[in-house]
Amino acid sequence: MSKMRIDSYMAVNQVYGQNTTRRSPYAAASQARDAVEISDFGNAYQVAKKAAAGTEPVREDKVNEIKNQLANGTYNVPLTAVAQSMAERLLG
């Protein structure tokens, strides 16, 4: 086992004592808060996404059934249903 002798403890202590923390000139700039701004398109997208989330999912089986009926010429809507829908839209 070797022994180490440090004679100049004060000299070493002075060297380490000089290493004080200095402030960076960029420190003040890094403390500023960041800001985020959403564009008009982004706002419109969020509104559309919320509106779409509130709707019922598409019933593909029903859509395909009506497409087939239209293609075959067998699609028939009762006139009473059409009249009632028109009256509801007009009268509110």
Check residue 38 and give left, alpha or beta (phi > 0: left; psi -120 to 50: alpha). beta
Chunked into runs of 10 residues, the chain (92 residues) has average pLDDT values of: 60 62 63 83 92 87 94 93 94 86
The per-residue pLDDT for 70 is 94
- Residue 42, in any domain of the structure: no
The per-residue pLDDT for 63 is 93
Angle 67-71-75 (CA atoms, 0-180°, nearest 5)? 70
- Residue 76, in any domain of the structure: yes
Number of domains within the chain? 1
- Predicted structure pTM score: 0.34
**Contacts for 39-43 with beta carbons within 8 Å, 24 or more apart?**
none
Owning domain of residue 87: 67-92
Give CA separation, 44 vs 22, 39, 49, 63, in Å.
Answer: 48, 9, 9, 28
Q: How far is CA 34 from the centre of its chain?
A: 17
